[in-house]
């Protein structure tokens, strides 16, 4: 049994990670700018 991901699966995971990172960055930036 192979656990290798197909290119499509890897792309989907990458998109999800990027989306989460963007959301975290927005919250982080918002906290910094509004905290001043």
Enter the DSSP assignment of 3: -
**pLDDT by 10s per residue, the chain, length 36:** 566 768 888 888 888 888 999 999 999 999 998 886
Q: Is the pTM of this model over 0.75?
A: no
- Given a contact cutoff of 8 angstroms between Cβ atoms, the answer to whether 5 and 13 are in contact is yes
- Domains in the chain: boundaries: 11-35
Phi/psi for 16 (5° steps) reads -65, -45
Residue with tokens 């509004």: 34
Q: Where are the alpha helices (DSSP H) in the chain?
A: 7-35
């Amino acid at each position: 049994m192979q656990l290798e991901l197909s290119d499509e699966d890897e792309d989907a995971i990458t998109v999800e990670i990027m989306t989460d990172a963007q959301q975290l960055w927005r919250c982080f930036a918002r906290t910094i700018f509004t905290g001043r």
